[in-house]
Structure 1
Amino acid sequence: MNLLHADFEAALTEVYPRLRRFAYGLTSQAADADDLVQRACERAMRKSDRFEPGTRFDSWMFRLTRNLWIDTVRASSRRASREIDAEAGKSVGYDPRPATEAAIDLSTALEAMGHLPEEQREVVALILIDGMGYRETAELLDLPIGTVSSRLVRGRKALMELLGEKDDD
């Protein structure tokens, strides 16, 4: 079933700012983020018949954007995988968003995010910037929740170091 044009436009208008922030978190460049979001919107328009009624439009758009980013990165180079096992990731404890948001300026953090490895950058963008939960992020990225947790912890620690903040774990 296709989304009606007006429904599609309204849904896209609503999710666009969040999608743009997510793309910026992935690319760390405003122009690259704009290009990525534009390509995601074009793909969504072409494939609107694949949207499952009753599912979340924003999750579908985030997944399209992420998949396009992965395609872009793969085309330019292969990345090294730096993960701890899922069991170790499950032992991660608290939600660092309030402390992180209170301690740093968002524009400085976004700039510093450009120095993170891609897999940490996308988890940090979804959880710390967009406010998604761990489970929702794990489902969106098709990862075990322990992997999401470990990437978030490593990304947060790296951001804190880049920003010159003391990490009080």
Structure 2
Amino acid sequence: MITPALPVPHERRELPASADESVTAWALAARGGDSVAVDHFVRALHRDVIRYVAHLCADPQAVDDLAQDTFLRALGSLHRFEGRSSARTWLLAIARRAVADSLRHTAVRPRPADLPDWEPAAELAQPRGLPGFEDGVALLELLASLPDERREAFVLTQMLGLPYAEAAELSHCPVGTVRSRVARARATLMTLLTEADHPAPAASPPSLAAA
């Protein structure tokens, strides 16, 4: 049975502060029309955007389009970015709005039939450091069972490595609320992992004598 390991609970797993500072510097340079800085900015944050929208979006087929929409919105708004927050937090806030707009648009039109091509989106959203694709899909399935707010808090802090303060800013809630959501999400995931490792024994069939 495949049992994915949970990410180690650090406030910053993926990008050290210096890397966030570099991304923010690239965004500020890109604002001035530096095409090389634009390329660095997009490449540095593309995977984080993909993973974030994949966990927010109910339609895996829309992940790439939502990521593209996020960057188009961001590049069109760079002239308003002043570096008051990290460029990554600023960009993920744009991604959140892009997903919300997409969900509102989808709600007013018929939903197309599901197609069996969810694997690429699941693979793109797979957390780094897991043994393989199957483990990533298994963790995605576990995450899908969490309430939306807890899943978002877990993805932002434990998988994308955002500080709790920045995750709180994105989620429009106090830092303590984010910490509580992450703690509850981890507890639920650990329970599900334990249950996956130790499934309940199947009930014994009734004996013929009792029939």
Instruction: Tell me, yes or no, if structure 1 residue 19 matches structure 2 residue 49.
Output: yes
The Cα of 1:42 is off from its aligned counterpart by 1.4
The match for 1:116 among 146, 162, 179 is 146
Deviation of 1:32 (Å) = 2.7
State the 1:73 CA deviation. 3.7
**Quick check: 1:60 aligned with 2:90?**
yes
Structure 1 residue runs of 4 or more that deviate by more than 4 Å after TM superposition: none
Q: What TM-score do the two structures reach when normalised by structure 1?
A: 0.68
Q: 1:43 to 1:14 in 2, by over 3 A?
A: same
- Determine the structure 1 residue equivalent to 2:10: none
Structure 2 residue aligned with 1:141, among 161, 171, 175? 171
What is the CA–CA distance in structure 2 between the aligned matches of 1:151 and 1:53, rounded to whole Å? 28
The aligned counterpart of 1:41 is: 71
RMSD of aligned Cα (Å): 2.9
Q: Please name the residue that 2:209 is paired with.
A: none
Change (3 A) 1:71 1:115: farther
1:153 aligned to which of 180, 183, 188: 183
Q: Specify which of 22, 28, 51 is matched with residue 81 of structure 2.
A: 51
Structure 1 position 112, deviation (Å): 2.2
Q: Which residue of the partner structure matches residue 130 of structure 1? A: 160
Structure 2 vs 1, CA of residues 155 and 41 (structure 1 numbering), >3 Å: closer, same or farther? same
Q: Which amino acid aligns with 1:20?
A: I
Taking structure 2 as the reference length, the TM-score comes to 0.56
Aligned length: 142
Indicate if the aligned counterparts of 1:40 and 1:68 stay in contact, CA closer than 8 A.
yes
Q: SS state of the match for residue 143, structure 1?
A: coil
CA distance in 2, matches of 1:15, 1:73: 23
Gaps of 5+ in 2: 1-27, 109-129, 198-211
* Residue 28 of structure 1: how far off its partner (Å): 6.2
